[in-house]
Structure 1
Amino acid sequence: MPRTSISATLAQKERDAVLQAIATIKEKLPFLIDLSAEERKALPKMGDKSRAFVGKALEVATQNPEFLPRSFDLEEMRKDVQLFEALYPLLLSLTQLQELVDDTSLAVGSEAYAAALQVYNYAKASGQGAGLDAVVVEMGQRFARKPRKVKSQEAAL
């Protein structure tokens, strides 16, 4: 599938404005938290199927609070559900934006790397005697392979 090449720039002023907009989003959501990988793994996840279940459970609890223990905080559950529902469209929008930024960054990085490979190959082929030898050697370090350890050395470790 042919890919459109990207020919664009991002001026410092626009970049700063985007970063400020992100900072503003963080300011507007002061309750956001950062979980460790272990914490994320340990939490039960609410996906699309669970959303209906949670909504039904809230409805049942609201209409029948008498069977809940006194320690159960129905109002806190209601707040959690409302916050989740309010955050969900933001999550979808930000996920889409992140995918677009990721894809664009990947594509433009690929274009830049392909161009750099061409420059390197041209410099290797016709840069000799033009004072480019040192820079070609330096650029070639990108492709240098690390020496493999001999199996006997690995066994000794």
Structure 2
Amino acid sequence: MSQNLVSLDITDAQVTAALDALTALENALTGLISLDNDERRRLSKMGPKSEFFCRQTLNVLGQNPQIIPPSLGLADAQADLVALDRLRPVLDRLQRIAERGADTETALGSDIMDVAREGYGLLQVSGSHQGLDAARRELSSRWAKTRRTPEPPSA
């Protein structure tokens, strides 16, 4: 018997509703940016330990404005911290939805592969009696192994 990790019937109306909700989300969060890989690598990252340091530092600086030069940009950093705190719950939910979506996609693909492998096995066993040799040969390309050319021995 084939596996069946998930049975899912997604209607056109559900897809439309989900896409509309994503559009509304994109419209609600118009300030989100995209970074290219080089920018992402160059930026200093704020992990959990760093976040505690940053929060404490901004708090102390906010309580002692006499030591801060105007060029530091404390107000901008404080506003960024507020924005981060507001954005995180949204991103957490999106992350959970994305993970569930990816897991569902994996399960659906696995269910499909399981049935297809079993069906291919049936074609191999009894397909020739049903005139399905050409179809089986065409499908066999999935399992064809490519030969590796051996690397010459290093000197």
TM-score, normalised to structure 1, is 0.87
Partner of 1:99: 99
Instruction: Specify the alignment match of 1:140 in structure 2.
Output: 140
- Output the amino acid matched with 2:12: Q
Give the whole-Å Cα distance in 2 for the aligned partners of 1:144 and 1:4.
Answer: 27
Task: Give the CA deviation at 1:20.
Answer: 1.7
Q: Which runs of 5+ in 2 are unaligned?
A: none
Whether contact under 8 Å (2:4, 2:111) holds in the other structure is no
In the other structure, the counterpart of 1:20 is 20
Percent identity for Structure 1 against Structure 2: 32
Alignment partner of 2:45: what SS? Answer: coil
1:117 corresponds to 2:117? yes
TM-fit CA distance, 1:51: 2.5
Q: Across the two proteins, how many residue pairs are aligned to each other?
A: 152
Task: Indicate the RMSD between aligned Cα atoms, in angstroms.
Answer: 2.0
SS at match of 1:46: coil
1:70-122 CA distances to partner (integer Å, 9 max, x unpaired)?
A: 21222211111111111111121111111111111111211110010011110
Q: Is the CA contact (8 Å cut-off) linking 2:123 and 2:132 kept in structure 1?
A: yes
Whole-Å Cα distance in 1 between the matches of residues 151 and 45 of structure 2? 46
Unaligned runs of 5+ residues in structure 1 are: none
| In 2, Cα distance between equivalents of 1:15 and 1:40 | 32
Equivalent residue for 1:6? 6
Structure of higher RCO (CA pairs closer than 8 Å, 6+ residues apart)? 2
Q: Which amino acid aligns with 2:9?
A: T
Q: Which amino acid aligns with 1:112?
A: I
